[in-house]
């Protein structure tokens, strides 16, 4: 399996958490591709740990449907299922619409200014902006609503599903105007908030997610 050769610099809280976060990131960014066999011996050697925390981390990733475990045989990176990906985007569209609703009473001029600042960065030097940069900006925009909503269940559910979304986009996307157009959709959300129109803001949020899945589905190459 293609484990990166660069050394690790961050200090872990626990071995299991460190391994989990690294494997998760490799799955998301495409270092570990769908169908790739997982070698717990290679992973344990890379992290200089026993196989126990490796197996615990793999189980956590299996619980999140990122790894498939075949008992007594092997573990592999889970494939991307088009229908499942579409459903994930639909669920996220509704969850983020709820985040708008839950946070609506807390939207102040200062919050709107924060959203506008984040969104403005989508249009700054787009030719020099990478997909991970765009994903980080998009996440920062949506995290404003999740933060204000103050609901841990909503935050945890969306964070877990976001892993699958980022993975699909990393595998299927090329950087172009389609992704940058997300800034225009964010602007529609901001405009609705300025108008104090909750229904319009929620609908604009839904469209932002559902338009993205249409683009992702049009780029499938695997």
Q: Distance (Å, rounded) from C-alpha 109 to C-alpha 106?
A: 10
Q: What angle do CA 158, 169, 91 make, to 5 degrees?
A: 30
Say whether pLDDT at 11 is over 70: no
Q: Distance (Å, rounded) from C-alpha 2 to C-alpha 182?
A: 33
Q: Which of 29-38, 142-151, 209-218 is predicted most confidently?
A: 142-151
**pLDDT for residue 127:** 61
Q: Give the pLDDT mean for 184-190.
A: 95
Q: Give the pLDDT mean for 127-148.
A: 86
SS3 content of the chain, % helix, strand, coil (to 5): 70, 5, 25
What six digits make up the tokens of 3? Answer: 């484990």
Q: Give the pLDDT mean for 48-53.
A: 92
Say whether pLDDT at 152 is over 80: yes
**pLDDT for residue 177:** 56
pLDDT band at 175 (very low <50, low <70, confident <90, very high): low
Q: Give the pLDDT mean for 111-136.
A: 81
**pLDDT for residue 126:** 56
- DSSP code of 74? E
pTM for the model: 0.77
Q: What angle do CA 92, 98, 101 make, to 5 degrees?
A: 150
Whole-angstrom CA distances from 134 to 115, 150, 156, 177 are 15, 25, 21, 12
**pLDDT for residue 8:** 56
Say whether pLDDT at 138 is over 50: yes
How does the average pLDDT of the chain come out, rounded? 86
Say whether pLDDT at 186 is over 80: yes
**pLDDT for residue 173:** 62
Q: Give the pLDDT mean for 72-91.
A: 86
Q: Give the pLDDT mean for 181-209.
A: 95
Judge whether 54 and 40 are in contact, CB under 8 Å.
Answer: yes
């Amino acid at each position: 399996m293609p484990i990166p050769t660069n050394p690790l610099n961050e200090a872990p809280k626990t071995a299991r958490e460190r391994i989990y976060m690294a494997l998760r990131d490799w799955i998301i960014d495409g270092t570990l591709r769908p169908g790739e066999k997982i070698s717990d011996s290679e992973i344990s050697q890379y992290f200089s740990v026993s196989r126990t925390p490796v197996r615990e981390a793999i189980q956590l990733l299996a619980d999140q449907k990122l790894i498939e475990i075949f008992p007594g045989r092997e573990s592999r990176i889970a494939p991307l299922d088009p229908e499942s990906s579409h459903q994930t985007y639909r669920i996220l569209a509704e969850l983020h619409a709820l985040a708008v609703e839950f946070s609506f009473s807390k939207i102040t001029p200062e919050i709107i200014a924060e959203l506008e600042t984040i969104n403005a960065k989508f249009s700054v030097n787009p030719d020099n902006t990478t997909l991970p940069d765009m994903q980080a900006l998009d996440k920062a925009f949506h995290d404003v609503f999740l933060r204000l909503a103050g609901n841990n269940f909503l935050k945890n559910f969306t964070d877990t599903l976001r892993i699958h979304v980022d993975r699909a986009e990393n595998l299927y996307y090329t950087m172009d105007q389609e992704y940058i157009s997300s800034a225009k959709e964010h602007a529609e959300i901001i405009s609705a908030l300025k108008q104090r129109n909750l229904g319009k803001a929620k609908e604009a949020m839904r469209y932002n997610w559902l338009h993205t899945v249409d683009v992702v589905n049009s780029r499938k190459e695997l």
